[in-house]
Amino acid sequence: MAAGTLLEAGLARVLFYPTLLYTMVRGQVPGPARRDWYNRIDRTVLLGALPLRRMTRRLVEDENVRGVITMNEEYETRFLCNSAKVYNWTPEEAIQAIAKIRSHIYIRPAQFDILKEFHRKVTAEAAKKELCYT
């Protein structure tokens, strides 16, 4: 692994909890500085930070959440809950949707590569199932 990549990974781990705390505080601030934990894309999809465990019951009961998609690092999910469901977007469309709704989010190249690989696997699996039914 290149020194720059190791430094980036280490820095991300060091900054994770302070930025999590910062995000939680921003969620409580009134006015234009407030940053919601999530935003609604449409009737069935929310986009935002991975919910903390204490938020799960409210999201399930009030928002009817049944699954969560995450591109978090493994260490970031220790106190979080997650599951998976496919939303029918290309990786490029997904990034555009994220940028439009949550402009403060930066998708790193490695995350985009993971998203493209996930999309490739999902579409390949769907194509196999389609062939079986035709």
- Predicted TM-score (pTM) of the model is 0.48
Token pair 């705390």 is found at: 21
* Per-domain boundaries in the chain: 86-134
- Average predicted confidence (pLDDT) for the chain: 78
pLDDT for 78? 62
Tens-digit pLDDT profile for residues 86-120: 456 788 888 888 788 778 878 888 888 888 888 88
Task: Report whether 116 contacts 94 (CB < 8 A).
Answer: no
Does 37 score more than 70 pLDDT? yes
Which amino acid, one-letter code, is at 60? V
pLDDT for 133? 54
Rounded distance between C-alpha atoms, residue 42 and residue 119, angstroms: 21
Does 46 score more than 80 pLDDT? yes
